Each structure stands twice: as C-alpha cells, then as structure tokens.
Amino acid sequence: MASISKTAQAGTLESSDVMITVTPGAKDSGIVIEVESIVLAQYGEDIKAILLSTVQKQDITDIYIKAVDRGALDCTICARLLAALSRAGAVLKEEML
C-alpha cells in the first residue's frame, strides 16, 4: 500500500472547478473523505465515489481528503485529486495518467 508524505492541494474555488486538499492520515485510519459542494444534495455521493475510486486505484491508504466543489465535472475531480496526490509525494500508477 502506498501513502503520501505531506499535505498538498490542487484546484481552485472558481466556478466549475474543485479544490482538493490531501493530508496524511494516522496509521490505520483508512480513507476519510469530506465534501463541501454547491451541488451536494444532487451529486455529493457521486463526488465521494469518484474520490474513493481514484485513491483506491492508486492503492493509497491512511489519507484525509477534503474537496470543496463548485460544480466540477467528474474528469476534473479525478485530475485534481491525482495532482494533489502527486504533490503530496505519491508515486502515481501510470495507467491513471
């Protein structure tokens, strides 16, 4: 299992974007996801599913992910998370890039 070594973020708070912050979690804390969104009622579960799927595909555990969404598309959410993970020291799997 992979991990991250520091806190990092990617994205903006502009319309149609998402700001993602990743922080190393405590040992054996698992994947913790917090989402704030202007469309939380409609798409909150979908956003969480995208974040969870992306981080699981990278085999990263013990991580805290905070997403502040402003109506971003799925591909944008995934790309911002991958950028934040890379900045936090994760070695990304090539098939996701």
pTM: 0.94
Residue 95 covered by a domain: no
CA distance 81 to 73: 13
Structure tokens at 90: 């994760």
**Phi, psi for residue 12 in degrees, rounded to 5:** -135, 175
Residue 97 covered by a domain: no
CATH number for 82? 3.30.230.10
Mode of pairing for the β-strands spanning 18-24 and 31-37: unpaired
Give 56-69 pLDDT, tens digit per residue: 999 999 999 999 99
Residue 41 covered by a domain: yes
Domain count, the chain: 1
Q: For the chain, give the mean pLDDT.
A: 95
